[in-house]
Structure 1
Amino acid sequence: MLPADYVFGIAVALVVASNFYLGRRIERERVAMQWGPSGEPTWYAPKWLAMWGMPAFMVAVRLLIWLASTYAPQSVHSVELGIVIFSVIAAGSHVFVLMKARAVR
């Protein structure tokens, strides 16, 4: 286990906790996932996918990183830095999307 996995674990815990806390406060069944230059949403996802797709995506990416570093270590560089950066960006963007969806009435 890499020290970066602690950051990854905290990020996944933050994503799951925000799902439970902010998910109840989202009233709509579809959540805006991306916004255009005008500030209008460009596409929506079902609420369950918007909430629980991110933890699944994070685990899948971490598994892919582990597979690459195990079976093709000569092709992988700065694994720990990549895990930390990915964890922070994924958790931050997920919380942002949920907070934005909660504010929409």
Structure 2
Amino acid sequence: MPEYKTYEQKKRFYRSKPWLTLRQAALERDNHECVHCKKEGKVTVDSIKTPGERKEVKLNVDHIYPIEHYPKLALTLDNLQTLCVYHHNVKEGRIFKPKKNKWAGDEWW
């Protein structure tokens, strides 16, 4: 059973042909739409690649159960969901609420 603990192990996995094939299957299953946005009544679809330019990534295919802890589920379609970048960052804890300005209510004379 392969492990996916280090950056290099994950990088090798996410560049592998089995992952890229399964990733495409997950995108097609979810109609290239973020599943969380869809629940909120919104639509977020991926951008279109323009020749000669770098494609802006709007959708990620996310492992519901992380591969670091559940390596057996790494290549299981039912463990995947399509998320927009925002919802993926929220799920991974990478969105932080802005700090409250302690001076916001003060009067300036």
TM-score by length of structure 2 reads: 0.28
TM-score by length of structure 1 reads: 0.29
Higher radius of gyration, 1 or 2: 2
> Higher RCO, 1 or 2 (CA under 8 Å, sep at least 6)?
1
More helix per residue: 1 or 2? 1
